[in-house]
Chain A
Amino acid sequence: MVAGSFAESGADLELVGIHKRFPGFTAIEELSLKVPAGSFFALLGPSGCGKTTTLRLVAGLEEPTSGQVLIGGKDVTGMKPFQRPVNTVFQSYALFPHMTVIENVAFGLRRRKVDDPVAKAHEALRLVELDHLAARKPLQLSGGQQQRVALARAVVNRPALLLLDEPLGALDLKLRRQMQLELKTIQTEVGLTFVHVTHDQEEAMTMADTVAVMNKGAIEQMGAPEELYELPTTVFVANFLGQSNLFTGPVVESTGDTIAVDIAGTRIVVPTARAQRHSGIVTVGVRPEKLSLVTEDPGPAAGLNVIGPGRVVDVSFSGVSTQYIVEVPRLGTMVCFAQNMVFGPVVDVGASVWLSWKVDHGFGLDDVAEQAGAVQVGSAQDIAALDPEAVL
């Protein structure tokens, strides 16, 4: 980047066949991706899957074992971090303890000889609502305040490519929403490219143009948020991004438009276009909010999958919706979210119910869940507590 000026626009980022091996541990198996200039790219994944390592490779703090990093079409693989038009909001903040907050924020500006660094630093601090603490040392700030300083210190440089490693993780919900808006504004105003690592799925879905789900050092699936949510292609994505009811069984019938899978005597039909594989043993699934819960057998109907009867084992009310957990013999446990159209739950624990969903809402996955149905479901808390890697 030219000294003394800000980036006019974002730069695109391309990773080509990146492989990163630490002594005794392969952190990145094989990573190729392209982030178009001016887009907001979110990287989601379980702890230890290599998100930070990916950002460090882009920033130049780590050298890939093989592969190339291109920024703005230029190969920067051999370039030092300070030569790259990239700034990072570090997961560990890494605020200089010997400098005041304002000096921390002005650091990058001073190095690049930008005019009036202090005024610009104050402006960035106002953005994160910390201007009144400008004279403090970082150790005299709370964790969330430190995080916002780290954000200001990177954002103030308006780099063509900004890497954010869980930049809002320590903030309360209200402040987080506000910072999300600020970030989005900065990003769209100047058209900068953001690569954003987060554990907050909602944050990734609402802010990003493209979401990539990473697992064990490789990208499992990448695409627009709706696409990723509505049509997951792997068991990992189906369970990591939201919840899913999954069933595994052999394909017993395949017409032009649909495939039918036999799950312990129950037929589940999925559109061919929404299934990754069309023969053999496959895992199919449906999102819990797509299910409708009825107390009488609706009978077979065209374009509808029906399973039941099952027994409601748990009902939990969560405001806008109610979560029902239904035990279906031979199929396992299923989760169903129902909108609260009436006061209170429609059925109680112990009730006998049928679950149905439109064939069009189902999806077929590329890989096979090791255990059908039962594992993926359970209460939301159970799912959060499960190590996603252990599920696989």
Chain B
Amino acid sequence: MAIAALAGSTVTQEAPRKKSRIALILLLPGIFYLVLFFIVPFVSLVITSLQVPSATNFGQFDTAFNWQTYVDVVGQYGTQILRSFFFALLATVFALLFSYPLAYFIGVKARRWPLLQGLMLVLVIAPFFISFLLRTLAWKQILSDEGFVVSALKALSVLGPQDHITGTPVAVVFGLTYNFIPFMCLPLYTTLERLDVRYLEASNDLYAGPFATFRKVTIPLSLPGIVSGTLLTFIPAAGDYVNASSEFLGGSSSTMMGNVIQSNFLVQLNYPAAAALSIFLRAIILIIVSAYVKRSGTDDLL
């Protein structure tokens, strides 16, 4: 879904409408892939979401058209749904605030020193070399009650004697932000790296100070990067179930939709509810993303 939305935002011209066998042949693997790994599971998910518990066999489900499940899960998990989007939004904003200056430095300021540029890019990508589960666990250690962060903050009276960091929304949003920063940083870097500083000079020459130049020239010119970065962060963050899980950084007060789906599928074995939640999550994200892409009008750029 994310991929489709991204592709839609960057295609600027319609390809010439010419029937071509080669194009079709080249498209076949892609179509096959989509049918096999997207359409089929999706249809199966829709069917599952409409099933009812079997009257005869306990733990089995019969095919039906029980859309009531959707109403039930939305009512039952409303808090977690809202929380998921809120946390994802926060993580996206924080990741953007952190990544933009970093990407700007690597992509624009560090142009004169290619070595530094390469080094910093490697540092941005380096976390990918270690499983994000391990990295998130490491953060759990660092932020744990025995860790030095908590003791230091307690010593400074920022935290009370009974307070924790792990298990709180703060830790979850922190974890989400941390895990998605590379996804924000890389698209930003690619657009900023191509930013022609002559536009900034022209803006400067036309009486725009640094702030006005940033607002009127730099931001609009890097909008494609901002849009892809925020999408690549927001979409997976909204469905993330690792950071918010109580085995990692979350707790009961910070459960997100991903955790609810996981528990319905794997613990409660309530497949229709889990499927309905998944589809609902997808639908909402699709609506948010299309509204966002449309509004930012990225297809007008470049």
| Contact in complex: B203, A107 (CB < 8 Å) | yes
> Does residue B204 face the partner (Cβ distance < 8 Å to A)?
yes
Chain A residues with CB under 8 Å of B205's CB are: 59, 61, 81-82, 86-88, 90
Per-residue B-contact encoding for A130-167, CB less than 8 Å = 1, 0 else: 00000000000000000000000100010000000000
| Contact in complex: A111, B302 (CB < 8 Å) | no
Chain B residues with CB under 8 Å of A371's CB are: none
Per-residue B-contact encoding for A80-107, CB less than 8 Å = 1, 0 else: 1110001110101011111100000001
Chain B residues with CB under 8 Å of A332's CB are: none
Chain A residues with CB under 8 Å of B217's CB are: 96, 98
Q: Which residue in B201, B212, B221, B223 is a CB contact (below 8 Å) of A111?
A: B212
> Does residue B34 face the partner (Cβ distance < 8 Å to A)?
no
Chain A residues with CB under 8 Å of B302's CB are: 97
| Contact in complex: A81, B201 (CB < 8 Å) | yes
Q: Which residue in A98, A108, A112, A157 is a CB contact (below 8 Å) of B301?
A: A98
| Contact in complex: B208, A107 (CB < 8 Å) | yes
| Contact in complex: A82, B204 (CB < 8 Å) | yes
Task: Give the complex CA separation of A90 and B220 in angstroms.
Answer: 21
Q: Which residue in B201, B209, B223 is a CB contact (below 8 Å) of A94?
A: B201
| Contact in complex: A61, B208 (CB < 8 Å) | no
Task: Give the complex CA separation of A251 and B257 in angstroms.
Answer: 98
What total of chain A residues lie within 8 Å of the partner, measured CB to CB? 23
CB distance from B221 to the nearest CB of A (A): 6
CB distance from A136 to the nearest CB of B (A): 13
Nearest CB in chain A to that of B196: its residue: A94
Chain B residues with CB under 8 Å of A107's CB are: 203, 206, 208, 216
Chain B residues with CB under 8 Å of A99's CB are: 220
Task: Give the complex CA separation of A88 and B206 in angstroms.
Answer: 8
Q: Which residue in A59, A82, A88, A90 is a CB contact (below 8 Å) of B208?
A: A82
Chain B residues with CB under 8 Å of A96's CB are: 199, 202-203, 217
Per-residue A-contact encoding for B168-212, CB less than 8 Å = 1, 0 else: 000000000000000000000000000010110111111111001
CB distance from B224 to the nearest CB of A (A): 11
Chain B residues with CB under 8 Å of A82's CB are: 204-209
Chain A residues with CB under 8 Å of B199's CB are: 94, 96-97
Chain A residues with CB under 8 Å of B212's CB are: 111
Chain A residues with CB under 8 Å of B201's CB are: 61, 81, 90, 94
Known A-B contacts A96-B217, A97-B302, A111-B212; A80 and B204 likewise in contact (beta carbons under 8 Å): yes
Task: Give the complex CA separation of A278 and B212 in angstroms.
Answer: 60
Q: Which of B105-157 contact A (CB under 8 A)?
A: none
Per-residue B-contact encoding for A103-134, CB less than 8 Å = 1, 0 else: 00001100110000000000000000000000
| Contact in complex: B221, A81 (CB < 8 Å) | no
CB distance from B107 to the nearest CB of A (A): 18
Name B's A-contacting residues (CB within 8 A). 196, 198-199, 201-209, 212, 216-217, 220-221, 223, 300-302
Name A's B-contacting residues (CB within 8 A). 59-61, 80-82, 86-88, 90, 92, 94-99, 107-108, 111-112, 153, 157
